[in-house]
Structure formats: structure tokens, C-alpha cells
Amino acid sequence: MNISQRIDRLPVTNILWRVVLLTGVGWLFDAMDQGMVAGVMASIGKEWHLLPSQLGLLGSAGAVGMALGAAVAGMSADKWGRRTVILVTLIIYGVGSALSGFASGLIMLLVFRFFTGLGLGGELPAASTLVSEFSPAKVRGRMVVLLESFWAWGWILAALIAYLLIPIYGWRIAFFLGAVPAFYAAYLRRGIPESPRYLEQTGKTQEAEAIVSKMEREAGLAPLEDSEKSAPPARSGKISLLELWSSTYRRRTLVLWILWLGINFGYYGFVLWIPTLMVGKGFVLIKSLEFTLIMSIAQLPGYYSAAYLIEKIGRKAVLVIYLGGTALAAYLFGQSSSVTQLLAFGSLLYFFSLGAWGAVYAYTPEMYPTSVRGSGTGWATAFGRIGMIASPYVVGVIYQTYGKAAGYTYVFGMLTAVFAVVALVVLVLGIETKGKALDEI
């Protein structure tokens, strides 16, 4: 058996749990940064007297950095390793967040948010790839969704900071707090080993052997004799962007790029704007942030239900159900006319959209072989960030053009259509990867 086959025969080990936990801590702080952008937009808009279209640029600037960071980090992860990329990008993100707190004007803040996005965009695909490659096939999807669930805790923490601190200390405190734990997470990640599958593919067999042997001892499995071990699968070599569109990968790449583009456009179209949109509906800032905190809690059951179902009914079914649920919730939220409806349909919107995000991160690394998994995941993520770049600005323009009442309805009508189209694409063109070895998909 080779390294991949030996990992797939294992139960969930302590090493795997440690990788998920320490990687997840960094994921939590990444989410906290993104969540605080939503919290500070309304505050900055008032302080600097910005138009909605200008506020939209604040969300888009970080997304431009995330797109570039994802593309570069994906290829770097295949060259220098998943763990190395995670550590470097997390430090970049922390520095960018700290600098954002010192911004004296919109242009300066946009530059710093771009820098923050470089780190954030590069770290997320590398982290999901690392957890996917450490996980046995029978629990791989579930472990990646559990990793993604740390995003919900980070978003809830961001909502708490926005609700409790921004009205008292101003928006800068959010970015300062967002920088401190990122450096701590970088320290924690010194305890994360490199992916054994990656080490095997790059010829570092002894290092891979040591990690997997330790996992086997934790699981109580007898070590293999040398005669039972086999050579790793032949490495296909460096892959270019054009090769991702060859006949071998074309269908997978098409589905992933549409999936990432649509879910980024839809998710960031509402999540960065909800506090500001609710202020436009007549709620004061403190009440808007309170509602956002309540709705953010619904992310947790969204993630955990997806983590359960993804190994029961498969990745494709979970994606279609949760994307379709997000489309319905977006429509209902756009039609809301009372506080009860806002909270109920907003909670559903967070529930389904974050469950879908968990499935996306589990599904994406499984679509490519180990030798090109970082590049394929990175490019899908990078292309998807185009939706994140465009969405905050498009929402701002629609809201500014049609006014607070009609614009609110138009925005959520548009987002409903986006989520519905993406669900249809996955239903028609998606392939199922549940239970398959990474080298067999």
C-alpha cells in the first residue's frame, strides 16, 4: 500500500483532530476579519460620509487581494507545501488587518484591505487542501466541513465585537483586534505537520512515512512490513492553467468555477451589506448589529447539518439542497416587512448559505489529483473571487440607483437568481466524490 491507501484505511486519529483544530483556529480569525468588515461598513459610511457605491468598494478591495492570493498560493502549495503557504499567508493577513486600523481615508483603507485579502485568499484553499489530504476517504468531506464551521464561530465573534465595541470605541478597534489573534494562530500552526500525500508526491517518502506511521500507531494498527508498502502513484508533473481546461479536467473545472463564482457573488452580496441595508430600512445601527448577531448564530446548525449529511447523501445532493434553500431564503428575506420576518428568513439565509459553503470547501479539493490539487483548488477559488469583487459594488449601485425601499427588494431578487442558477449547474453537471479515494476520483 502507498501513503494514500494507508491513510484511507485509518479511523479519525488524534493527529487529524489536531490538524483540524489548529487550522480551524486560523480559519476562525480569518472569518472574524471578514465579519468585521460588514460591521464597520455602516460606521465608516457615517463617519466619512460615503455613498453606497463607495462602501461597496471596501468589500471589493479585499476580494481583489483574495483572488490574487488564491491563484498564487494554490500554485505555491503544490511547489512548497500546504503547511508553508498557510503560515506565510496568515502572517500577511495579520499585518494587513493591523494596518487597516490606521487608515486615514478611503484610498488608504482600500490599499490595506487589498493587502489583507492577499493573505486571507491564499490561506483558505491551502488549509482545506491540507485537511482533505490528512483525512481518510470515509470521513474526508465531514472533516473539511467541520474545518469550515470555524468560520461561523469567527463570524459570531465579529458580530459580538461589532455589537459591543464599535458603537463605543469606533470601527478601528475591530481591525486592531482582528490582527492580534492571527499572529497567535501562526504560532499555533508550527505544530501542524505537512500533508503526507504531498510529501509522498514530492519524493519526501521518509517524512511521509514517519507521519503516517505515527497515525497508524495512534489507531492501534500494526506497522506494515516493507514488502507491503508500495511506490506512490506516478506524479503528473506541473500543470498549467490551460491544462485545467483539457478534456481530463474540463467538466470539473467548469462546475467548480461556476460554483465558486456564484456562491461568492451571492454570499458577499448580502453578508457584507445586511447591517447597512437594515439601517436603510429604519433600524438604528446598534439594532442592526444586534439582528446580524442573532442571524449569524444560525450558521452553526447550517454547518453541522451539512457535515452530517455530506457523508450520508453525498456532496452533490448537499450542494443542491443547500444552494436551493439559500435561493428561497434570499427571496423571502427580500420580501420581509416585519422584524419577525427579517429574523426568521435572515436566519434561514445564514443557515443554508453557510451549509453550502462547507460543502463547497469539501468538494473542491476532491476534484483533482494530489499533484495538482493545490493549483486546481487555488484557481477555482481565485476565479470565484471575481464574484466577491463585483458583488459588494453591484449591490451598492443597485441600492443607490433604486432607493432604499425598491433597491432592497431588487438586491435580494438578484441574489435569489444567482443561487438558483448555481444549484442547477451542480445538479446537471456535477459529479459525486463521496467515499472515493483521492487518487481514484
**In a domain? residue 366:** yes
Buried b (16+ CB within 10 A) or exposed e, 127-147: bbbbbbbbbbbebbbbbbbbb
Mean pLDDT (the chain, rounded): 86
Closest C-alpha to 439, from 387, 390, 367, 380: 367
Residue 300: inside a domain, yes or no? yes
Is residue 306 within 8 Å of residue 362, measured between CB atoms?
Answer: no
3 state DSSP class of 236: coil
Per-residue pLDDT for 234 more than 60? no
CA nearest neighbour of 372 among 256, 208, 283, 275: 256
Q: How far apart are CA 33 and CA 170, in angstroms?
A: 16
* Digit-coded pLDDT (tens) for 21-71: 999 988 888 888 877 777 787 788 888 988 877 877 887 788 888 888 888
Domain assignment present for 89: yes
Residue 384 covered by a domain: yes
For residue 228, being part of any structural domain is answered with no
- C-alpha triplet 54, 57, 59: angle, nearest 5°: 130
Q: How confident is the model at residue 396 (pLDDT cuts 50, 70, 90)?
A: confident
CATH of the domain at 330: 1.20.1250.20
Cell of 271: 453578508
Tell me the residue range of the domain where 344 lies.
3-217+239-429
Q: Of 95, 92, 96, 89, give the one whose Cα is nearest residue 70.
A: 89
Nearest to 162 by CA among 177, 178, 174: 174
From the centroid of its chain, how far is CA 65? Answer: 14
pLDDT tens by residue, 315-354: 999 999 999 999 999 999 988 878 888 889 999 999 999 9
Number of folded domains that form the chain:
1
Average pLDDT over residues 88-97: 88
For residue 289, is it within any domain? yes
> Does 61 map to a domain?
yes
Pull the grid cell for residue 270: 448580502
Give the whole-angstrom CA distance, residue 59 versus residue 378.
20
Q: Is the pTM of this model over 0.95?
A: no
The pLDDT of residue 53 is 77
Give the confidence band of 123 by pLDDT, cuts at 50, 70, 90: confident
pLDDT of residue 430: 93
| Residues in CB range of 126: below 8 A, 6 or more apart | 73, 74, 77, 82, 85, 86, 89, 374, 378
Is 49 a domain residue? yes
CA distance 5 to 331: 45
Residues of the chain above pLDDT 70, percent: 93
Model pLDDT, residue 425: 97
Whether the per-residue pLDDT at 393 is higher than 70: the answer is: yes
Find where cell 490574487 sits. 68
What is the share, in percent, of the chain residues with pLDDT greater than 90? Answer: 36
CB atoms within 10 A of CB 380: 29
